[in-house]
Amino acid sequence: MTSIKPTTSNQGAGTREWDALPEGTYNAEVARITYKPIDLDRTPWLNRLVDRGVKAQISFGFRITSGPFAKRWVWGDIPAEISDHSACKLRLYLQEILQENTLPSDFSFDEADYDDYIGLPCRVRLGKYFSEKAGVERNSLDDVLSPTAKQLNEASGRTHIKSTPSVKSAPQEEWEPF
C-alpha cells in the first residue's frame, strides 16, 4: 500500500532577500505603477501628507535594463499629488519620464492611464540606507532621470501619454515638505 505525505517544497517561497545594489545611476524602464491609499494605522509617519490633503501614494516599480543588474527591480513610493512646488516628486518624475520641461496645466495622472507608462525608458539614481527593522542594507530611489539617447533609440516606436485632467494639484503655498 502506498502512503502519500505532505511536502513543504514551497516553504519560504516569496521571502527571498536581495542584496542592495551599489549606489549609482542605472538605465531602467517603468515596469509597474500602483495607487496606494494611505493607511495611517500602518504608516503613521505619513500623517503630514494626510494633514495636507494627500490621500494616497504612487508606487513606482522600475526594472533595470542593462549592465550586471539587468532585470532587477527597484521601488519607490511618492505622494499622489502634482503641484508646482520645486520638490514635488510626482511632477518631477513624470517630467523626466516624459522628457518634458513642464507639464501642461490640464495634465493629470489617472489610474486608467498607468499602463501607458509601462515600458517607457528612464534612468534611476539609487542610494543606500540601513534598515533597522530588517537589519540589512536597502536601496532608496533617490531620483528618476530622463533616458539616454541610446535608450530612446532602443524604445523607438512607443507613444506618449494623453493629457486628461483629474489629479488634484495643490498650490505651492499650501505644500510643505516632510
**What per-residue confidence (pLDDT) applies to 175?**
47
Q: Is residue 20, in this structure, part of any structural domain at all? A: no
Tell me if 43 sits within 8 A of 20, measured CB to CB. Answer: no
Cα-to-chain-centroid distance, residue 105: 23
Most confident listed range (21-30, 126-135, 148-157, 161-170): 21-30
Q: Is residue 85, in this structure, part of any structural domain at all? A: yes
> What is the radius of gyration, based on Cα positions, of the chain?
19
Structure confidence at residue 30 as a pLDDT band (50, 70, 90): very high
- pLDDT tens-digit series, residues 78-107: 999 988 888 899 999 999 999 999 988 888
- pLDDT tens-digit series, residues 137-163: 999 999 999 988 777 777 665 544 443
Cβ neighbours around 93 below 10 Å, total: 22
Identify the helix (H) or strand (E) that includes residue 97: helix 89-98
Q: Is residue 150, in this structure, part of any structural domain at all? A: yes
Full residue range of the structural domain in which residue 78 is found? 27-156
Q: Is residue 171, in this structure, part of any structural domain at all? A: no
**What per-residue confidence (pLDDT) applies to 11?**
47
Q: Is residue 7, in this structure, part of any structural domain at all? A: no
Q: Is residue 106, in this structure, part of any structural domain at all? A: yes
Q: Is residue 94, in this structure, part of any structural domain at all? A: yes
Q: Using the predicted structure, report yes or no on whether residue 173 has a pLDDT greater than 70.
A: no
Question: What is the count of structural domains for the chain?
Answer: 1
**What per-residue confidence (pLDDT) applies to 118?**
95
What whole-number distance in Å separates Cα of residue 71 and Cα of residue 65? Answer: 6
Instruction: Give 118's DSSP letter.
Output: T
- The residue type at 4: I
Q: Is residue 95, in this structure, part of any structural domain at all? A: yes
Q: Using the predicted structure, report yes or no on whether residue 4 has a pLDDT greater than 60.
A: no
